[in-house]
Amino acid sequence: MYRVLATASALLATARAQQACTLNTENKPALTWAKCTSSGCSNVQGSVVVDANWRWTHSTSSSTNCYTGNEWDKTLCPDGKTCADKCCLDGADYSGTYGVTSSGNQLNLKFVTVGPYSTNVGSRLYLMQDENNYQMFDLLGNEFTFDVDVNNIGCGLNGALYFVSMDKDGGKARYSTNKAGAKYGTGYCDAQCPRDVKFINGVANSDEWEPSASDKNAGVGKYGTCCPEMDIWEANKISTAYTPHPCKSLTQESCEGNACGGTYSTTRYAGTCDPDGCDFNPYRQGNKTFYGPGSNFNIDTTKKVTVVTQFIKGSDGKLSEIKRLYVQNNKVIGNPESEIVGNTGSTITDSFCKAQKVAFGDPDDFNKKGGWSGMSDALAKPMVLVMSLWHDHYANMLWLDSTYPEGSTTPGSARGSCPQDSGDPDTLEKEVPNSSVSFSNIKFGPIGSTYSGDGSTDPEEPEEPEEPVGTVPQYGQCGGINYSGPTACVSPYKCNKINDYYSQCY
């Protein structure tokens, strides 16, 4: 994407480094979310900021583009340091340029937006604490809940919500040449060690930049940027997955060339992060009727659904499991049991991850790059919330919603019901430009504090015999300080202590 502005009389930045300019006013969309305790939830007034990669990047002394289409200007950017000295990031018109709008606690992301100066594809945004800092979340021992509507994103698209170990200020304090900071969406990193990020560590990633042959807005530079990643939600209306990705380092760090590994390098597992992760996709785990469009699925993606993710501590204070629940039509619905031989379970645990790699014959890069212990350590530290809508120029999103690798019949290759010829980026941009996803009602707090609903009743299951009065349904509260309700769980579930304030039936 590029931006050419006719207005040249506005205030220009005079500082030198990766800067912020003010030809465009930066008005971040407001977004309300809730912080919860055992006694209730209270609203927090936040906002979101678009990633620096999407922003208009131009000369600090004029409106001349530093980056046009998928190429750097060779005069302004002969090398990364000079480029950072001569170029700046500018403010964003969120709705007109990026198709991003908000109302109350809901954020809406549009796939393709035709603006006055450009055609924008997708977006990536971060929740802000204040004008200059990202909102940070300590996930270990807590749960994160949100509502999502994926009815308008089909095969090949990904409405993602996830956490990464970015710096709170976008790297402004660590890297003196980064003058823009979180206010302008800098500092991105993830477990793919992406090399398409335009500024890394306060320096332009223009060295050895190769424009993409298929993506008119992107390319690959010499450097990548790595950090742990917790994918809470990668989904469209056909498939969904949640996936932890550990790294050897718990904080953002840069990498160089193919040693970065991940999607953007020739050797996928060469880097310090696990690009595959340990995923739980119900379809991939053998349940093809749990998630999809229509009332014949346990989770009907034609309707809004509440997604609950619990990061449960064990007795040693470390991560013991990552549990997924859904709430739809006021029913709490547990994640389905895996139907893969040798890979049982309905939650992500250390043993589940190890068994999955064996069952599917996948490289166990998860344990080589920090494993379960490393992921526990990452979740114990503050992470940044990311919300995005994107398509995939590398694998057409087949790894999420179709068969991948293409044509494979091995266990784990079937990930969704989308055709193997679906997901072509150019086709999606032309045929479904008005696709959109909405995230809303974000809540964060101790286990059991962010959601409510009745016990689950899967549509396919026969009715169970009526339980005695005074029993607690599956995933309901059955104990804890100041709790005065029933403590007996419906059969066959037992009351498990999560913390002093909350016990749960499962």
Cβ atoms of residues 38 and 501 within 8 Å:
yes
User: Which segments of 122-168 are extended strands (E)?
Assistant: 123-130, 133-134, 136-137, 142-149, 157-164
| Host H or E run for residue 113 | strand 112-114
Tell me the one-letter amino acid at 155.
C
d(CA 302, CA 363): 35
Cβ atoms of residues 84 and 177 within 8 Å:
yes
d(CA 267, CA 404): 18
What is the C-alpha end-to-end distance of the chain, expressed in Å?
49
d(CA 358, CA 354): 7
Backbone angles phi, psi at 210, to 5 degrees: -120, 110
Cβ atoms of residues 264 and 195 within 8 Å:
yes
Alpha-carbon distances, residue 121 vs 12, 163, 191, 374, 430 (angstroms): 27, 22, 22, 34, 11
Neighbouring residues of 252: CB distance < 8 A, sequence distance ≥ 6: 165, 166, 167, 171, 187, 189, 225, 226, 227
Alpha-carbon distances, residue 246 vs 230, 276, 368 (angstroms): 8, 10, 9
Cβ atoms of residues 385 and 135 within 8 Å:
yes
Q: How many CB atoms lie within 10 A of CB 406?
A: 12
Bridge partners, residue 306, by sequence: 147, 327
Sign of the CA dihedral with 450 first, then 453, 454, and 458 last = negative
Provide the annotated active-site residues: 229, 234
| Helix/strand number for the chain, H first, E second | 7, 36
Cβ atoms of residues 181 and 17 within 8 Å:
no
d(CA 478, CA 338): 26
d(CA 223, CA 448): 42
d(CA 321, CA 246): 15
**DSSP class per residue in 269-336:** T-SSB-SS---B-TTTTT-SSSEESSTTSSEETTS-EEEEEEEEE-TTSSEEEEEEEEEETTEEEEPP
